[in-house]
Amino acid sequence: MLTAPRTLAPFRNEPIRDFSDPADRRSLEEALVRVRATLGRRWPLVIDGVKVAGPRTIPSINPARPDEVVGEVEEASPEQVSQALDAATDAFASWKTTSAEQRADFLLRAAARIRETKDDWNALLVLEVGKPWIEADADTAEAIDFLEFYAREALRMANPPPLTPIAGEKNWLTYLPLGVGVVLPPWNFAFAIMAGMTSAAVVTGNTAILKPSPDAAVIAARFVDLMHELGLPPGVINFVPGDGVAVGERLVTDPRTRFVSFTGSKGVGLRINELAAKTPPGQRWIKRVIAEMGGKDAIVVADDADLDAAVAGVVAAAYGFSGQKCSACSRAIVDQAVYGAFLEKLVPAVEALAVGDPAVYGNSVGPVINQKAVEKITGYVEVGKGEGRLVAGGSRAPGEGYFISPTVFADVAPGARIAQEEIFGPVLAVIEARDYDHALEIANGTEFGLTGAVFSASEERLRRAQDEFFVGNLYLNRKCTGALVGGQPFGGFNMSGTDSKAGGYDYLLLFTQGKSISRKVAAHAADDLAAGMD
């Protein structure tokens, strides 16, 4: 039976602050003091609404100050993984029948609470994953946006448009939840993507087991606590941190798991897809995998581009959050006619970036996430020294944390490793193109297809990019990062994932299955029955 739609104001994106207002700066400074006073806390598992200890803990550390422990998060044992699956399975029986109104209300109330305490969440993002202030505020704003948008989408899906009339029948379509889902979010958008993936699963009537990245587990624990403070029933969200193999693969392969929602690297995404494709005894479904993976994203700079705008877009997209975004610009493909002029403007702009502890206002480039990332990125820098001309950066930056100087390699060949492989750090390859045709050819010349951008004054060239630049999110005369929920549904092609289009009108369908229902009725009763279904 269809439900009466709830009336809500149209969706609007949460504003993102630049902290030019002294009151905004003071608010975040005070929040940093408050949150720092709580560091080192132990965060338990949450299974069936009960907080329980695991056999060991995982430390989450501040990447800008590696001796500062943000929190100790319990790691689940194999037995606790099984208990969480049982709890989610049991809770699904009642949660799937909970009305869309009630499910959406949890998301709306969570969004309101987060909005009221925005800077406390921002401060935790600064300390746990090293986000500069504006990046942290954007992450929190996006978390609010996902909650608000998916709540509205759940209500819309509960009242689908009528089907084509058929004489003598009443036909309607309803969307059913899938079942128990495993949610595997990344550390780089520690709040937004984690909250978005989890809320999408539960607002559509599924139950979830949330296994966050060990580098961003504290903020996930706080979000789970918030949902239970709001009265979310036990077992709807279970918090089960742990190792990717011992916990993650066990969750993916269990026959009780109905779907896996993943955001992360290509290698892990392909492994999940492979494991999920196997059907263990007792499994009655084909598991669904929703995967958003990596990118090797390019910004094309045509010979008629506004070079100042292009440089600003490349710098923002390449070095925002130290390049640790799947959407980050890691290739600048520049027409040979403006190649030299572009580099002359780019290098000083990169060298002017302030690198340092993101807790300090004004530092625009913070640390990379951990020592393993340092080793990977500096390894690619050494590779780059043999594949291109180093014109900026190329070394560790001062500070006790995991700081790497924003790095630029010029004269890179399109097939070079640093032009093909995802580095996930502040390293940019600048590639010279013969002309616009060649630039598009280079842009499409990787296994990925997530984001891309073109700077050009030509309408014809921009139209060609719309048709020929093969990415899930294309931006024209702007940077290739910063997709907004509702306005720029996000997800890519090829090895960038399943094109899930998070934050779009299609996304919640991925967490449901459609059921078509037909009822034969007498011709004279069809109108009465139709009226009763409205």
What digits encode the pLDDT tens for the residues 215-251?
A: 999 999 999 999 999 999 999 999 999 988 889 999 9
pTM: 0.96
List the 451-455 sheet strands across, edge first.
389-392, 407-410, 427-433, 329-335, 297-301, 451-455, 473-476
Among the listed residues 128, 148, 326, 422, the single catalytic one is 326
In this prediction, residue 245 carries a pLDDT of 86
Q: Do the Cβ atoms of 29 and 178 come closer than 8 Å?
A: no
Tell whether 125 and 247 lie within a shared domain: yes
Tell whether 228 and 358 lie within a shared domain: no
Helix, strand, coil: what percent of the chain each, to 5? Answer: 40, 20, 35
Tell whether 308 and 431 lie within a shared domain: yes
Residue 364: HSE in the Cβ half-sphere, 13 Å Cα cutoff: 15
Residue 5 has pLDDT above 80, yes or no: no
Residue recorded with tokens 């094109």? 499
Q: Which range is least confidently modeled, 140-149, 179-188, 192-201, 241-250? A: 241-250
Separation between Cα atoms, residue 87 and residue 102, nearest integer Å: 20
Tell whether 133 and 214 lie within a shared domain: yes
In this structure, how many other beta carbons lie within 10 angstroms of the beta carbon of residue 515?
A: 10
Residue 526 has pLDDT above 90, yes or no: no
Q: Do the Cβ atoms of 335 and 386 come closer than 8 Å?
A: no
In this prediction, residue 4 carries a pLDDT of 44
In this prediction, residue 524 carries a pLDDT of 56
Give 123-169 pLDDT, tens digit per residue: 999 999 999 999 999 999 999 999 999 999 999 999 999 999 999 99
Q: Mean pLDDT throughout 62-81?
A: 97
How far CA 258 is from CA of 224, 264, 273, 285, 450, in Å, comes to 21, 20, 13, 7, 26
Dihedral, 399, 213, 188, 370 alpha carbons, nearest 10: 20
Domain span at 450: 297-476
Q: How confident is the model at residue 293 (pLDDT cuts 50, 70, 90)?
A: very high
By the 10 Å C-beta count (0-12 exposed, 13-18 middle, 19+ buried), 381 is classed as buried
Between β-strands 259-263 and 180-184, what pairing exists: parallel, antiparallel or unpaired?
parallel
Residue 7 has pLDDT above 90, yes or no: no
Residue 305 has pLDDT above 50, yes or no: yes
Q: Mean pLDDT throughout 244-267?
A: 96
In Å, how far from its chain's centre is CA 392? 29
Separation between Cα atoms, residue 89 and residue 207, nearest integer Å: 8
326 assigned to active site? yes
Quick one: which of 459, 455, 496 has its CA closest to 479?
455
412: DSSP letter = -
Q: How confident is the model at residue 522 (pLDDT cuts 50, 70, 90)?
A: confident
Q: Is 494 in a helix, a strand, or coil?
A: strand
Residue 530 has pLDDT above 60, yes or no: no
Tell whether 216 and 73 lie within a shared domain: yes
Tell me, yes or no, whether 188 lies in a domain. Answer: yes
Separation between Cα atoms, residue 403 and residue 378, nearest integer Å: 11
Tell whether 210 and 342 lie within a shared domain: no
Separation between Cα atoms, residue 233 and residue 166, nearest integer Å: 41
Domain count, the chain: 2
Tell me, yes or no, whether 521 lies in a domain. Answer: no
**For position 339, which CATH number holds?**
3.40.309.10
**CA 401, 404, 406 angle in degrees (round to 5)?**
145
Length of the chain (residues)? 534
Radius of gyration (C-alpha) of the chain in whole angstroms? 24
Q: Do the Cβ atoms of 131 and 146 come closer than 8 Å?
A: no
Tell whether 249 and 364 lie within a shared domain: no
Give 381-408 pLDDT, tens digit per residue: 999 999 999 999 999 999 999 999 999 9
Tell whether 284 and 366 lie within a shared domain: no
Tell whether 154 and 168 lie within a shared domain: yes
Tell me, yes or no, whether 103 lies in a domain. Answer: yes
Structural tokens at position 67: 């001796």
Tell me the residue ranges of DSSP E strands in 269-358: 288-292, 297-301, 329-335
DSSP per-residue codes, 136-154: HHHHHHHHHHHHHHHHHHH
By the 10 Å C-beta count (0-12 exposed, 13-18 middle, 19+ buried), 52 is classed as middle
Residue 312 has pLDDT above 60, yes or no: yes
Residue 508 has pLDDT above 70, yes or no: yes
Tell me, yes or no, whether 112 lies in a domain. Answer: yes
Tell whether 244 and 334 lie within a shared domain: no
Tell me, yes or no, whether 30 lies in a domain. Answer: no
Tell whether 252 and 388 lie within a shared domain: no
**For position 201, which CATH number holds?**
3.40.605.10
Tell me, yes or no, whether 528 lies in a domain. Answer: no
Separation between Cα atoms, residue 69 and residue 380, nearest integer Å: 28
Residue 115 has pLDDT above 70, yes or no: yes
Q: Mean pLDDT throughout 14-28?
A: 97
Among the listed residues 14, 128, 148, 292, the single catalytic one is 292
Identify the bridge partners of residue 355 per DSSP, sorted by sequence position.
365
